[in-house]
């Protein structure tokens, strides 16, 4: 609802601004024309004052209202992260800080820190990237598309195939191997989704374009394979779309149904010192999904400091997509 209001108001405010600008030009022209054509009219002075009042009072007030409402729309779009996401991030920090913490520790931290969150939520911590990837694969493999009523949202530091998580190369190779059937099942769910497919938010630096290309190439190759098996060669953005995260973020999130997967790092590029969490709760998942939806669709409208770059990555995504669609 908030996202709809912001989009609707932005469209309306642009039209209002153009209308006011045009009205200003017309009013100014009317004053000049009237002065020129009716220099001796008895009502000249009165009509002149009315026109000047419109130009100097009414129009600026109307413009001020547009600016205030547009500012309100910006405030709504750039409002703080949803409560559930923000507070569970705090839980993640506390759990991550103790590398030897157990699931019971995670649950106790959560209940102490998040007294206002619902009690019927699950939380699990993984210190091993392979264990986390295997758990995620099992869960996604068991999901049915009919149970998914919302799009699937995911952020990634190119760490499904280009930079898989793990503290050693053998671990990273194993994680990448597990991630292949995981993304195959995710592609199936995205193509079968009733209310939207996969929304992927990638974070990378300008010197990682080669890794970006590998990540997108591997993901699209799998997606096309599944699409061909289902004879859905006309799949569109609603099944699989991507944007770039340009704001600094050291975490990765994956939200599907009422399941939330989080990878927590000390730095953006850290793979060795990473901890992984799983949370299950419908309200918390909805909170994360709302945040990621706003980020995906409106993050590039951040003025001088946008959170995302929708258009910079679109050309490469489309190029690889078309190349693979032709079987090249």
Question: pLDDT tens digits, residue range 95-145?
Answer: 545 444 445 545 554 555 455 455 567 888 887 899 999 999 999 999 988
- Say if residues 289 and 253 touch (Cβ distance below 8 Å): no
Averaged pLDDT, 199-216: 94
Reference 277, options 131, 177, 167; nearest CA is 131
Residue 115 phi/psi, 5-degree rounding, is: -65, -25
- Say which range, 56-65, 135-144, 275-284, has the weakest mean pLDDT: 56-65
Say if strands 274-280 and 152-156 run parallel, antiparallel, or are unpaired.
unpaired
- Residue 257 CA to chain centroid, in angstroms? 16
Q: Among positive and negative, which fits the CA dihedral 68, 74, 78, 79?
A: positive
- Half-sphere exposure for 311 (CA within 13 Å, toward CB): 3
Classify the phi-psi angles of 156: left when phi > 0, otherwise alpha if psi is within -120 to 50, otherwise beta. Answer: beta
Confidence bin at 318 (pLDDT 50/70/90):
very high
C-alpha gyration radius of the chain:
26
pLDDT at 202: 95
- Report the CATH fold assignment for 83-325: Endonuclease; Chain A (3.30.870)
Confidence bin at 261 (pLDDT 50/70/90):
very high
């Amino acid at each position: 609802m908030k996202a709809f209001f912001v989009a609707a108001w932005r469209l309306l405010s642009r039209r209002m601004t153009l209308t006011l600008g045009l009205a200003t030009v017309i009013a100014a022209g009317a004053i000049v024309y009237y002065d020129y054509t009716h220099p001796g009219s008895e009502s000249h002075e009165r009509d002149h004052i009315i026109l000047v009042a419109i130009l100097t009072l009414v129009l600026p007030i109307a413009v001020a209202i547009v600016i205030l409402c547009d500012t309100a729309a910006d405030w709504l779009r750039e409002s703080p992260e949803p409560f559930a996401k923000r507070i569970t991030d705090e839980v993640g920090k506390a759990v991550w800080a103790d590398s030897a913490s157990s699931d019971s520790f995670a649950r106790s931290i959560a209940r102490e820190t998040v007294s206002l969150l619902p009690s019927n939520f699950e939380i699990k911590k993984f210190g091993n990237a392979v264990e986390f990837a295997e758990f995620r694969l099992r869960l996604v493999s068991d999901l049915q598309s009919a149970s998914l009523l919302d799009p699937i949202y995911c952020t990634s530091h190119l760490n499904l195939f280009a930079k898989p998580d793990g503290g050693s190369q053998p671990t990273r190779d194993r994680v990448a191997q597990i991630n292949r059937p995981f993304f195959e099942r995710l592609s199936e769910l995205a193509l079968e989704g009733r209310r939207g497919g996969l929304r992927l938010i990638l974070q990378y630096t300008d010197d990682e374009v080669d890794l970006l290309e590998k990540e997108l190439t591997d993901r699209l190759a799998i997606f096309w394979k599944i699409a061909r098996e289902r004879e859905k060669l006309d799949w569109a953005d609603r099944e699989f779309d991507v944007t770039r995260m340009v704001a600094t973020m050291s975490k990765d999130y994956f939200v599907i149904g009422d399941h939330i997967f989080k990878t927590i790092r000390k730095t953006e590029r850290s793979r060795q010192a990473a901890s992984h969490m799983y949370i299950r709760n419908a309200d918390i998942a909805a909170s994360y999904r709302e945040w990621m939806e706003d980020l995906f669709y409106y993050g590039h409208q951040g003025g001088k400091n946008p959170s995302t770059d929708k258009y910079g990555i679109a050309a490469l995504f489309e190029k690889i997509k078309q190349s693979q669609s032709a079987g090249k």
